[in-house]
Amino acid sequence: MASEEASLPVAPARPAPWRDPKVRGIAYQIAFVAAVVGLGAFLVHNMLGNIARQNIATGFGFLRREAAFGIGESLISYTPADTYGRAFLVGLTNTLYVAALGIVLATILGTLMGLARLSGNWLVAKLAQIYVETFRNIPLLLQLFFWWGLLNKMAPGPREAWRILPDVFVSNRGIVFPAIVANPAYRWIAVAFCLGAIAAIGFGRWARKRQAETGRQFPTGWVGLALVVGLPLAVFLAFGAPLTLDRPALRGFNFAGGSTVSPEFTALLLGLVVYTGTFIAEIVRAGILAVSPGQSEAAMALGLKSGQRMRLVVLPQALRVIVPPMTSQYLGITKNSSLAVAIGYPDLVSIANTTMNQTGQAVEGIALIMAVYLTISLAISLLMNIYNRAVALVER
């Protein structure tokens, strides 16, 4: 009896369609997508109606029209007679410039402060802690206003400028410092630097291979330094050390000569670096604390020197913890550079804002900003993910 029952081909009971998880899933998705698409269609329909009613032009044709507004500072040549497209390009380069500088400087400041918080020196650790706790808890925009107010409103005019270093002056026109006068020799120095860097990397590879084969160590650090610094220095001396400084001097009501950075740029960069530096300091500190002390002790027991211990044992493990949150800090700097609009540094958002006010084409302007920031965010994420893969734990 039992065997007879078991041999019967029993089809799995199909539930009623409204109880079948698969059917239900598809129904839910259709409903959800329909709701989202419906909402989107409703909004677009309203928008088209409003645009037609208010006679707002559509499309990106305005990018080819004359911008007719001046831009305070720009890395590429620009005049008000140029197009809106060119103005956007100026904004984009300004954003990328301040973000790139901010990322580099914030990483340096943050790493130093993170290490300082772990220092055995009580005073250094306390100072770093005060820095982190103070600047992390104040909104970035307020800090930007503070630096901008200090540089633009509190700083004296050029005649009474603060002299903070020899030939470096701070006034309400910005920071003026000596500029190096261009010389044809510098191109060759740059070439020598690149060659030196390539040679240093090549030597490092060769030395590592030799060490793996023979066990003999080579002073890669010193040789690399000699190549990277020594080669350009040799070229510099070979050209007869051509170094002329263009020193700023007070002429009339302003400085002549030297290089100037505007108060707006300085305030934005300072604010971004000081604010983000606090977060990076905490990330670095957490990363180093995450490496168990046993690792350091084991490295010591193996007889590694303190530099080697840091470079070969602690840092590779700390970087695994440090790199992912660092990515979001870098993205944060890029996105926060848009606060420039509040203090008048002509970044992408600030120029888009002017454009939108002039043309009334808010939809296109915001679409452009979003597209640019999404591209930058994706690019930074991609680079950091590649780097993260390089430092991540390789499991068997």
Partner 1 sequence: MTDIAQNIPIAQHPPAPRATGVLGWLRANLFSSVFNSVLTVLSLTLIATVIPPVVRWGLLDAIWSAPNGAACHSGGACWAFIGEKFRFILFGRYPVDQDWRPVIVVGVFLAMILAACSRRMWGRRLAILWFVGLSAIFWLMAGGLGLTHVETALWSGLPLTLILAVVGMLFGFPLGVLLALGRRSRLPAVRAICVGYIELIRGVPLITMLFMASLMLPLFLPAGVTIDKLVRAQVAIILFSAAYLAEIVRGGLQAIPRGQIEAADALGLSYIQRTRLIVLPQALSMVIPPLVNSFISTFKDTSLVLIVSLFDLLGATEFALTDANWQGFYVEADVFIALIYWSFCFFMSRYSQMLERELNRGRRR
Q: What is the DSSP letter of 278?
A: H
Q: Which residues have CB under 8 Å from 248's CB, separation 6+?
A: 167, 169, 176, 177, 178, 255, 256, 257, 258, 260
Q: Please pick, from the candidates 20, 23, 28, 230, the single residue that binds partner 1 as defined by CB under 8 A.
A: 28
Task: Please state the closest distance from residue 107 (CB atom) to partner 1, in A.
Answer: 20
> ∠ CA 234-240-241 to the nearest 5 degrees?
70
Task: Please state the closest distance from residue 236 (CB atom) to partner 1, in A.
Answer: 30
Q: What is the DSSP letter of 14?
A: P
Cα–Cα dist 229/238, whole Å: 14
From residue 60 to residue 99, the character string flagging contacts with partner 1 as x (rule: CB under 8 A) and all else as - is: ----------------------------------------
Task: Please state the closest distance from residue 257 (CB atom) to partner 1, in A.
Answer: 29
Kindly state the tokens that stand for 256.
């002549």
Cα–Cα dist 36/43, whole Å: 11
Q: Which of the ranges 22-30, 84-92, 191-199, 240-248 carries the binding residues for partner 1, by CB under 8 A?
A: 22-30
> Residues 309 to 368: which contact partner 1 by CB under 8 A?
331, 335-336, 338-339, 341-342, 349, 353, 356, 362-363, 365-366
Kindly state the tokens that stand for 134.
């103070």
Task: Please state the closest distance from residue 134 (CB atom) to partner 1, in A.
Answer: 7
Instruction: Classify 167 as helix, strand or coil.
Output: coil
Instruction: Classify 12 as helix, strand or coil.
Output: coil
Task: Please state the closest distance from residue 323 (CB atom) to partner 1, in A.
Answer: 17
Short-list 274, 261, 265, 262, CA closest to 142: 274
> Residues 92 to 131: which contact partner 1 by CB under 8 A?
119-124, 127
Choice between 50 and 79, CB closer to partner 1: 50
> ∠ CA 199-204-205 to the nearest 5 degrees?
100
Element (H, E) at 255: strand 254-256
> Residues 133 to 172: which contact partner 1 by CB under 8 A?
133-134, 136-143, 145-146, 149-150, 153-154
Q: Which of the ranges 2-10, 42-50, 78-86, 220-228 carries the binding residues for partner 1, by CB under 8 A?
A: 42-50
Q: What is the DSSP letter of 63?
A: G
Instruction: Classify 162 as helix, strand or coil.
Output: strand
Q: How many residues bind partner 1 (CB under 8 A)?
A: 56
Choice between 224 and 278, CB closer to partner 1: 278
Task: Please state the closest distance from residue 34 (CB atom) to partner 1, in A.
Answer: 10
Q: How many CA atoms within 13 Å lie on the side-chain side of 245? A: 9
Kindly state the tokens that stand for 316.
């590779």
For position 247 contacting partner 1 by CB under 8 A, the verdict is no
> Residues 174 to 233: which contact partner 1 by CB under 8 A?
none
Short-list 291, 287, 280, 285, CA closest to 117: 285
Q: Please pick, from the candidates 220, 296, 377, 385, the single residue that binds partner 1 as defined by CB under 8 A.
A: 377
Give the binding site for partner 1 (CB under 8 A).
Answer: 25, 28-29, 32-33, 36, 43, 46-47, 49-51, 53, 119-124, 127, 133-134, 136-143, 145-146, 149-150, 153-154, 331, 335-336, 338-339, 341-342, 349, 353, 356, 362-363, 365-366, 369-370, 373-374, 377-378
